[in-house]
Amino acid sequence: MCKIELRNVDKVYTTGKVRYQALKGINLTISNGGVTAIVGPSGSGKSTILNMITGIDRPTVGEVIVDGTRIDTMTENELARWRGRNVGIIFQFFQLIPTLTALENAMLPMDLAHKGTPSERRRTAIKNLTMVGLGDKLNNLPSELSGGEQQRVAIARALACDPKIIIGDEPTGNLDSQTEASMFDLLKKLNDQGKTIIYVTHSKDLAARAARRITIRDGRVQENT
């Protein structure tokens, strides 16, 4: 299981003369290896916390430590390598490459990381797509898949390098309630396999199904249950 710590984290964005503080003194530990939902109103800082955990962004003040490694002091190249090994990200709008098949999209992180041989990458991608129920859609383009199927490809892609942490940024924002429930069941299955699952959501149903809920408001942790 993977321990994630944010210690006294502030995040300030500056555009010209405008200064906006997105996070204010965040102290947060996620260590149960479970399923955690981060909730709160738009602009509260939820996605900024995800960006801290994934190393996509850095704190203005404070420390971010994942599995004993302080990631906020890494170089960009070190972060890219660390992220490729440890984090899989599922986006709200899927962000699949439209000219690549489901199989090619699911292989892409391994291709970029030069992980394994081409045949090994293909086998891993087929295994992941089969696990998410798309073993019969390997050669379909994203435009030939439903929204739920595209999201499943995105999950298979997130699993490509066998990361410890799966991050979802509004992962069901474009899905109906039935497909949302099916996707959560898949995330829970991945958690049962030992992966730490963290997602931001506006869905009350999806938040209620998480083992832990963290509420962010005005850049601060308001509730942690």
Q: What is the mean pLDDT of residues 120-138?
A: 94
- To 10 degrees, the CA torsion angle through 35, 41, 45, 48? 60
| Continuous segment of H or E residues that includes residue 90 | strand 87-91
For residue 146, the number of C-alpha atoms closer than 13 Å in the C-beta half-sphere is: 7
From residue 27, alpha-carbon distances to 63, 64, 224 in Å are: 10, 10, 11
Does 1 or 149 have the greater pLDDT score?
149
Q: In a 10 Å sphere around its CB, with 0-12 CB exposed, 13-18 middle and 19+ buried, how is residue 89 labelled?
A: buried
92 in Cβ contact with 169 (< 8 Å)? yes
Mean pLDDT, the chain, whole residue set: 91
Tell me: the pLDDT tens digits for 195-208?
Answer: 999 999 988 888 99
**pLDDT number for residue 1:** 65
Q: What is the mean pLDDT of residues 83-105?
A: 91
Tell me: the pLDDT tens digits for 107-128?
Answer: 999 998 888 999 999 999 999 9
Query: How far apart (Å, rounded) are the C-alpha atoms in residues 118 and 127?
Result: 14
Is pLDDT at 73 greater than 90 in this prediction?
yes
Residues of the chain with pLDDT > 90, as a percent, come to 68
**pLDDT number for residue 91:** 83
**pLDDT number for residue 92:** 76
User: Which of 27, 63, 31 has the alpha carbon at shortest distance from 222?
Assistant: 27
One-letter identity of residue 93: F
Domains of the chain (ranges, CATH numbers): 4-224 (3.40.50.300)
Question: Tokens in use for 30?
Answer: 């996620």
